[in-house]
């Protein structure tokens, strides 16, 4: 969906439809001054009721299931486990690559991509583990008042 476009299932779309009907009513038949004021007040009220900024589009479980080749129940479970469905497909595939098991539909659709990401995820996770160990070693040496080993110098810095 393009930026700034109103989702047809949203509340704002319903308000816009009401506004368009009110404006069409004003054009179709001549109105008295009092009727025009009432119509203008109704259109203004509709404008005030609209959201000030567009709401984030959240795909339904069925749409996501069709996109990734999984069941809607799996989408529900993965949402609970923290899958970034609200982000890009790249992030979702990265999250899936870190899982021990993915359904056959995902493997059929994204098999090559998942293999690449699994390898990359393995090395990234390994590097993060090594970084944590080195920083912990530095912290323990500093806490004990001992000199920091030379092999840890310049390797990683605490953030």
In a domain, 129, yes or no: yes
What gap in Å lies between CA 1 and CA 9, rounded to an integer? Answer: 12
Q: For residue 28, is it within any domain?
A: no
Q: Is residue 137 included in any domain, yes or no?
A: yes
pLDDT band at 12 (very low <50, low <70, confident <90, very high): confident
Q: Is residue 22 part of a domain?
A: no
133 lies in some domain: yes
Residue 9: pLDDT band (50, 70, 90) is: low
Asked, for residue 35, whether it belongs to a domain, the answer is no
pLDDT 10s digits, 30-68: 888 888 888 888 888 888 887 766 666 678 899 999 999
Angle separating helix axes 89-97 and 104-144, nearest 10 degrees: 70
Render pLDDT for 109-122 as a digit per residue (tens, 0 to 9).
998 888 888 888 77
Asked whether residue 18 is domain-assigned, the answer is no
Closest CA to 70 of 17, 118, 108: 108
Number of domains in the chain: 1
Range of the domain at 131: 85-144
Q: Which residues contact 23 (CB under 8 A, 6 or more apart)?
A: 43
Per-residue model confidence as pLDDT tens digits over 60-96:
899 999 999 999 999 999 999 999 998 888 899 989 9
Does residue 10 sit within a domain?
A: no
């Amino acid at each position: 969906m393009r930026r700034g476009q109103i989702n047809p299932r949203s509340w704002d779309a319903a308000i816009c439809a009401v506004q368009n009907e009110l404006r069409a009513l004003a054009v179709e038949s001549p109105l008295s001054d009092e009727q025009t004021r009432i119509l203008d007040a109704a259109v203004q009220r509709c404008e005030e009721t609209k959201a000030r900024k567009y709401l984030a589009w959240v795909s339904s479980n069925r749409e996501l299931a069709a996109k990734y080749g999984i069941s809607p129940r799996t989408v529900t479970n993965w949402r609970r486990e923290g899958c970034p469905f609200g982000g890009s497909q790249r992030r979702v595939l990265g999250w899936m690559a870190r899982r021990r098991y993915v359904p056959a539909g995902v493997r059929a659709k994204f098999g090559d991509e998942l293999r690449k990401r699994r390898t990359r995820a393995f090395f990234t996770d390994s590097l993060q583990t090594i970084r944590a160990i080195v920083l912990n070693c530095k912290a323990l040496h500093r806490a004990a008042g001992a000199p920091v080993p030379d092999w840890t110098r310049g390797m990683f810095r605490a953030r």
